[in-house]
Structure 1
Amino acid sequence: MEQNQPKSSDVETMPPSKKHWYIKLKERWGVDSDLQILLIFIVFGLTGSTVVYIKGYFFQLVGFTSTTPGWLKTTLYLIFIFPAYQVLLLMYAFIFGQFDFFWNKMKKLGKGIKRLFSRKRKPNE
């Protein structure tokens, strides 16, 4: 039986509204190489797996149990694990040769967060 999946040449010639998710992602990220996309996925996968692994040890070190309130776990997670994720992401990105890609994305994220928390000034100030 023949499946109705598009060939790679068909995917690239689809109308913009019907483009394959993979092609849309490459365009959005400004990536030309299939290998680079693969490496980016690997970096995300390794970083996420490492954070899940570290989180257990961190919670154990802090002394969290099943009775620890969720708000406390979430607060400490955001304070300690979220920054660790960013550092690990850049470390794995460096190892896999994708540091520039991730560094640019992090700078963009930082600007967005800064804009979110910055005070808006009135035009007369």
Structure 2
Amino acid sequence: MWEKLKQRWNVQSGWDVAIILLVFACTGFSIMYIKRALFDWVGLTDAATWLRWTANILVILPLYQVVLLAWGWLFGKFEFFWQFEKRMLDRMAGIFRR
């Protein structure tokens, strides 16, 4: 599994893979807490499901990208995550180009 991830992400060592996975984990936990606090503050905890989903897409998804870059920078992998973000945004834009 580590070798597949090294090849897929084009990194040199297993430590790079471990750091990348750690950054994804930290980002996920951070967003979970930010989302809970933000939704409580705005009052979306008891809102309709469609409203929560809309807020997730319009607010939380872009916030995830910023937090991912911040954690990547803290762990010294900013360049990797910057390239990762650009590829992901290009794929998302490709959906609308078709």
TM-score range, shorter chain: over 0.9
Provide structure 1 residue ranges, at least 5 long, that are not aligned to the other structure: 1-20, 121-125
Which structure would you say has the larger RCO, counting Cα contacts within 8 Å and 6 or more residues apart? 2
Specify the code of the residue in structure 1 equivalent to 2:29: S
Partner of 1:82: 61
What's the % identity of the aligned pairs?
38
The equivalent residue for 2:15 is 35
Aligned 1:46-61 pairs, distance under 5 A = 46-61=26-41
Q: Offset of 1:43 from its aligned partner?
A: 0.6
TM-score (norm 2): 0.93
Give the drift of 1:62: 1.4
CA-to-partner distance for each residue in 1:53-106, whole Å, 9 max, x for gaps? 01111111111233x211110110111111111000000100101011111111
How many residues are matched? 98
Per the normalisation by structure 1, the TM-score is 0.74
Task: Give the partner amino acid of 2:51.
Answer: L
2:66 corresponds to which letter in structure 1? V
1:89 & 1:64 partners in 2: Cα distance? 24
Q: Relative to total residues, which structure has the larger helix share, 1 or 2?
A: 2
Structure 2 counterpart SS, 1:41: helix
Give 3-state SS (helix, strand or coil) of 2:45's partner.
coil
Greater C-alpha radius of gyration = 1
CA RMSD of aligned residues (A): 1.1
Contact 2:2 2:14 (C-alpha < 8 Å) held by counterparts: no
CA spacing shift, 1:65–1:107, aligned 2, 3 Å: closer
